[in-house]
Amino acid sequence: MLAPMPKTKTLSDGNVMPTLGLGTWKSRPGEVKAAVHAALRAGYRHIDCAWIYGNEAEVGDGLRAAFDEGLVTRDEVWITSKLWNDAHRPEHVEEACRDSLTKLGLERLDLYLVHWPVAHTRGTMMPETRGDFVTLDEVPLAETWGAMERLVDAGLARSVGVSNLDAKRLAALSEGARIRPTVNQVELHPYLQQPALLEAATALDVALTAYSPLGSRDRAASMKADDEPVLLEDATLAAIAEAHGATPAQVCIAWAIQRGTIVIPKSVNEGRIRQNLEATQLTLSADEMARVAQLDRHRRYVDGTFWTDGESPYSLAELWGE
List active site positions.
53
Minimal distance, residue 1 CB to ligand NAP, in Å: 26
Q: Rounded to the nearest 10 degrees, what angle do helices 286-293 and 248-258 cross at?
A: 100
DSSP string spanning 193-215? --HHHHHHHHHTT-EEEEESTT-
Give whichever of 70 and 271 is closer to ligand NAP, judged by the CB atom: 271
Give whichever of 24 and 182 is closer to ligand NAP, judged by the CB atom: 24
Contacts of 161 (CB under 8 A, 6+ apart): 111, 112, 113, 114, 181, 182, 183, 184, 185, 206
Give whichever of 155 and 222 is closer to ligand NAP, judged by the CB atom: 222
User: Which H or E element spans position 276?
Assistant: helix 270-278
Minimal distance, residue 126 CB to ligand NAP, in Å: 13
Contacts of 294 (CB under 8 A, 6+ apart): 236
Minimal distance, residue 283 CB to ligand NAP, in Å: 18
Minimal distance, residue 212 CB to ligand NAP, in Å: 4
Give whichever of 81 and 174 is closer to ligand NAP, judged by the CB atom: 81
User: Which H or E element spans position 187?
Assistant: strand 183-187
Give whichever of 232 and 289 is closer to ligand NAP, judged by the CB atom: 232
Q: How far, in Å, are 36, 120, 268 from residue 65 at the CA level?
A: 10, 35, 17
Give whichever of 130 and 217 is closer to ligand NAP, judged by the CB atom: 217
Give the binding site for ligand NAP (CB under 6 A).
23-26, 48, 115, 163-164, 185, 211-218, 232, 247, 249, 264-269, 272, 275-276, 302
Burial grade of 178 (CB within 10 A; 0-12, 13-18, 19 or more) = exposed
φ/ψ bin of 150: left (φ > 0), alpha (ψ from -120 to 50), beta (otherwise):
alpha
Minimal distance, residue 254 CB to ligand NAP, in Å: 12
CB 163 within 8 A of CB 113: yes
Q: How far is CA 208 from the centre of its chain?
A: 9
Q: Which residue has its beta carbon closest to ligand NAP?
A: 23
The whole-angstrom separation of Cα 269 and Cα 296 is 28
Minimal distance, residue 7 CB to ligand NAP, in Å: 19
What is residue 126's three-state secondary structure?
coil
The whole-angstrom separation of Cα 97 and Cα 320 is 26
